[in-house]
A and B are shown apart, each in its own frame.
Chain A
Amino acid sequence: MFNRKLGIVDLSKGKVKVSDTPDSLRKAFLGGRGLNSHYLYKMIDSGTDPLGPKNVLVFGTGFLTGTLVPNSSRFNVSAKSPESGILGDANCGGYFAAELRYAGFDRIIVKGKANRPSILYASDGKIEITDAKDYWGLDTTDVQLALKKDLGGVESAVCGVAGENKVRFACVRTGVKNAAGRCGLGAVMGSKNLKAVSAWGKDGIDIAHPEEMLETCAELKDYLMKSKITPILGSVGTPLLYEVSNAFGAIRTKNSQLNAWSDSLNAEEVEKYVDKMIGCSSCIVHCRHRNSLGGEGPEYTALGLLGSNLGIENTANVIELNNVCNELGLDISSSGTYLAWAFELYERGIIDRKVTKDELQFGDFELAKKLLHDISRRRGFGDVLAEGSRNVERFGPESKDYLITVKNLPQSDPHDVRYMKAFALGIATASRGADHLRSRPTLEIFFKLPKEVRERIYGKGVTNDPTSYEAKEKTVFFSDNIFAAIDCLGVCKFICHGFNSPHFVDYSWMKRLIHAASGWNLREKDIEEVGKRVIDTERMFNNREGITRKDDTLPKRYFDDPAPLKIAMGHHIDRKEFDGMLSRYYQLRGWTADGQVKAARKKELEAIA
C-alpha cells in the first residue's frame, strides 16, 4: 500500500482508533503540513487552551516521505501553539518520519491528556499507549537512546525537560538535533503527559510506478548534484550564511540594536569543531554537522541567535549553548530572542533585579547557559522567561517595543529584515508568526535571473532591487505557495525551487514525483492550488483566534530604527510602503482588506472532507 493509516489516540480515555484518510482529503492537501492544518481547523474550537486537554497534537508525514525521493525525510508537528496562541506548526527532518510510515502510519492525531507519563509506540499498523515513568525527566538524546534499547531500534519524536515543564517554547526533537522547533509543540506534548512517540516498521511503501520512480529520482539526483549549491551545503552547511549576513549588515545582533558582529562565528571557525557532515533519511545533500563538543549543529540560526544576538563571540561557547538547547528541548530561535530581549530590558532599566535576581548582560556565556537550564526547569527568573512573549504583561507595555516577534512568535532566523522588503512582508504574514521558512524570497538578488524568467516565476512588475517595495507581494505569494506545497510532500525545503535556487524541485518535478509514487495525474496548477488551500486554511484558523490585519506587522524596531552598520546602514521599513504591500498581498490572496478569508472561500474549504 502507498497510503498508510491515520491513528487517532485519545489519551484521556486510553483509546486508539485506526482508520484511512479519504482520497478526497489527500487530493486537497496531499499530506504533511496541509493535512495537519486541515485537522487542526476541524478539531480545535477557538479559544481552546493550548496547554489543556482539548488541544489536538498532530504528527503528520508528507505525501512522499519515506520513499526514494531525494530528501523526503520530513514530517510536521502541529497543534494550537502555547507560545503564540494561534496556529502552531513545525517541520522536521531526521529518520522518525520514514520509520512512522514503515510502521504503518501517515499520521497520528493525539487528543486528551494521559493520567500519567506515557509513550505511544507505533508498529505493524498498531499503536500502543505505554508507561513512561522510567523516561520522564530524561534529556532528549538520553530518552531516545533508552527507547532504542528498550523497544529495539525505534525512531522517536520526544520532548525534553522543557516540554515536560510546559515551557512555552519547548520543541519536539528527533535524533540529536532535528527539531520541530517552533511554536512550543514540546510543551503541548508535556501538557498531555506524552514523553515520546516511537515507531518501528518493516513495511516498505508500495510505489504505483516503480520503474518511473527509479528513473525520475535518478534524473533528479543528477540534476541536484550538478548544482554548485549542493556541494557547498554538503560541506559547509548553513553556517555559510552567517558570514554573508554579517558582511552585509543583516545579522541580528544584541536584540537587533546592531546588525553586524564578530568574524569568530564564520563557517571556517565553526569547521574547527566539525567531526563530520550527516544527513536525514534519503537525503543526498547532508547539510548537518556533528560537532566535537558532543552534539550536532550549529546551524546559522544558532550562530546568530545564541551568538551575535546574545553578544557572544566565542565559537565553542555558542556551540555549547546550541547543544544545551537541543538536550533540554528548547527552541533555539525563541530562546535566543527572549534572552536578548531580557538583556536589553535590563540594560534599559525596564526590568531590574527584583524580577531577574541576577545581573543581566550581553556577552555573558555562563549566565546564558544557566538561564537556559533555569528556563527548562522553571527555576527563578527562568520560570518567568519560560512564559515567552506573555511577559509583556509583566514587564510593561514599553517592553514590547524591544521584542522581536510577530504574532507573539520570535523571528525564526537571525536575518535582520530592514534591507530586504519582501523578506519583511514574508515574516509579517507567515501563518505561524515571524518566520522565514514559510516564504523566504531570495531570487530577486540573482543577477542572472532574466526578466522573462523572473516574471514567469513571480508575475509581472517585480524588480530585482531588494530595497524596492514594488510588487514584492508577488514574491511572497509565490514563495508561500510553493513552500506550503513542498511541506505537504514531506520534502526538504533545501531542494525546493525558489528557496536556495531558481532551479531545483518546482511544480513540474512535483507533478512527476507524485505520479510515479501514487499514479495520480495532477497538473502543476493543481499542486499550486494545494499550497494556496493550505495558506487559506491556516489563515481561517488564525482568523478564528482573532487574527486580522493589525497582527500582520513587524517589530517596532524594524520600522523605526534604521540599521546602523555596513551595507544595510540607514535602511528600515517604511510604514506606509509596508501597508501598501500588505494590501496588495491580501488582494492576491483574495482576502478582505482586514485580512480575513472571504465567506465563500471559507465555505468551500470547510466542505472538504
Chain B
Amino acid sequence: MRLKLEFTKPFSDAVGRKVVEMEFGGNTCGELLERLSGEYPALSTKFYDEDGSVTDYLIIFLNDKPISALEGLDSEVRDGDRLLFFFPISGG
C-alpha cells in the first residue's frame, strides 16, 4: 500500500524532509514506527524512550483522527492513508 507521511519538527529534522511517500507492507501504526526507525535511525531516539517503549511525546494523526481516538499503535493503516507526526507542545 502507498502512504503519505508528513513530519513536523523535530521529526522532520531526523528524516531530512517534511513529506515522505512510501510503499508499506505492514498493517499497523506500530509496525510503521518500527519500519521508519529502521529506515531513518535518527527517528528511533525520537520515537522511543531509553527503555524501548514508545515515547509519550509523539502524536500521530491517521487521516483526520489522532490514533488515540482509534486503536493507538494497533490502528490499521490502509492504502492512500495520510499520516501526520508531530510533537505535542502548548504555549502562546
Report which A residues bind B (CB closer than 8 A): 227-229, 232-233, 236-238, 240-241, 243-244, 247-248, 266-268, 287, 299-301, 333, 412-413, 436-437, 440, 442, 444-449, 463-468, 494, 499-503, 567-569
- Complex CA distance for A447 and B56, rounded to whole angstroms: 8
Instruction: Please give the distance in Å from B57's CB to the nearest CB on chain A.
Output: 4
Instruction: Please give the distance in Å from A446's CB to the nearest CB on chain B.
Output: 6
Task: Please state if A446 and B87 are interface contacts (CB–CB under 8 Å).
Answer: no
Given the complex, which residues of B lie within 8 Å of A300, measured CB to CB?
Answer: 91-92
Given the complex, which residues of A lie within 8 Å of B60, measured CB to CB?
Answer: 447
Task: Please state if A502 and B89 are interface contacts (CB–CB under 8 Å).
Answer: no
B20 at interface (Cβ–Cβ under 8 A)? no
Task: Please state if A446 and B9 are interface contacts (CB–CB under 8 Å).
Answer: no
- Complex CA distance for A266 and B13, rounded to whole angstroms: 13
Q: Which of B51-77 contact A (CB under 8 A)?
A: 54-61, 63-69, 72-73
Task: Please state if A266 and B9 are interface contacts (CB–CB under 8 Å).
Answer: yes
Q: Mark B76-92, 1 if CB is under 8 A from A, else 0.
A: 00000000101111111
Q: Mark B1-15, 1 if CB is under 8 A from A, else 0.
A: 000001011100000
- Complex CA distance for A247 and B84, rounded to whole angstroms: 8
Task: Please state if A567 and B84 are interface contacts (CB–CB under 8 Å).
Answer: yes
Given A503-B56, A567-B61, also A445-B68 (CB < 8 A): yes
Name 19 A/B residue pairs within 8 A (Cβ), A-sorted. Answer: A228-B55, A228-B57, A232-B87, A236-B9, A238-B89, A238-B92, A240-B9, A247-B6, A267-B9, A300-B92, A442-B88, A447-B73, A464-B68, A465-B69, A494-B91, A500-B90, A501-B56, A501-B88, A567-B63
Given the complex, which residues of B lie within 8 Å of A232, measured CB to CB?
Answer: 10, 87, 89
- Complex CA distance for A406 and B91, rounded to whole angstroms: 19
Of the four ranges (under 10, 10 to 19, 20 to 34, 35 or more), the interface on chain B belongs to: 20 to 34
CB-CB nearest in chain B for A412: B92
- Complex CA distance for A500 and B87, rounded to whole angstroms: 10
Given A268-B9, A436-B92, also A446-B56 (CB < 8 A): yes
Instruction: Please give the distance in Å from B59's CB to the nearest CB on chain A.
Output: 5
Given the complex, which residues of A lie within 8 Å of B88, measured CB to CB?
Answer: 229, 442, 445-446, 500-501
Q: Which of B33-59 contact A (CB under 8 A)?
A: 46, 54-59
- Complex CA distance for A568 and B55, rounded to whole angstroms: 25
Task: Please state if B87 and A244 are interface contacts (CB–CB under 8 Å).
Answer: yes
- Complex CA distance for A228 and B54, rounded to whole angstroms: 12
| New contact pairs (6) apart from A232-B87, A494-B91, CB-CB < 8 Å | A228-B56, A333-B92, A447-B58, A447-B67, A500-B90, A501-B56
CB-CB nearest in chain B for A464: B68
Instruction: Please give the distance in Å from B68's CB to the nearest CB on chain A.
Output: 4
Task: Please state if B90 and A241 are interface contacts (CB–CB under 8 Å).
Answer: yes
Instruction: Please give the distance in Å from A57's CB to the nearest CB on chain B.
Output: 23
Instruction: Please give the distance in Å from B81's CB to the nearest CB on chain A.
Output: 12
Task: Please state if B66 and A447 are interface contacts (CB–CB under 8 Å).
Answer: yes
Given the complex, which residues of A lie within 8 Å of B9, measured CB to CB?
Answer: 236, 240, 243, 266-268
Task: Please state if A445 and B90 are interface contacts (CB–CB under 8 Å).
Answer: no
Instruction: Please give the distance in Å from A267's CB to the nearest CB on chain B.
Output: 6
Instruction: Please give the distance in Å from A94's CB to the nearest CB on chain B.
Output: 16
Instruction: Please give the distance in Å from B18's CB to the nearest CB on chain A.
Output: 8
Query: Which of A243, A464, A503 contacts B8 (CB under 8 A)?
Result: A243
Most chain A CB atoms below 10 A, which of B65, B72, B92: B92
Instruction: Please give the distance in Å from A236's CB to the nearest CB on chain B.
Output: 7
Given the complex, which residues of B lie within 8 Å of A229, measured CB to CB?
Answer: 57, 87-89
Given the complex, which residues of B lie within 8 Å of A465, measured CB to CB?
Answer: 65-66, 68-69
- Complex CA distance for A412 and B64, rounded to whole angstroms: 25
- Complex CA distance for A464 and B69, rounded to whole angstroms: 5
CB-CB nearest in chain B for A414: B92
Given the complex, which residues of B lie within 8 Å of A502, measured CB to CB?
Answer: 56
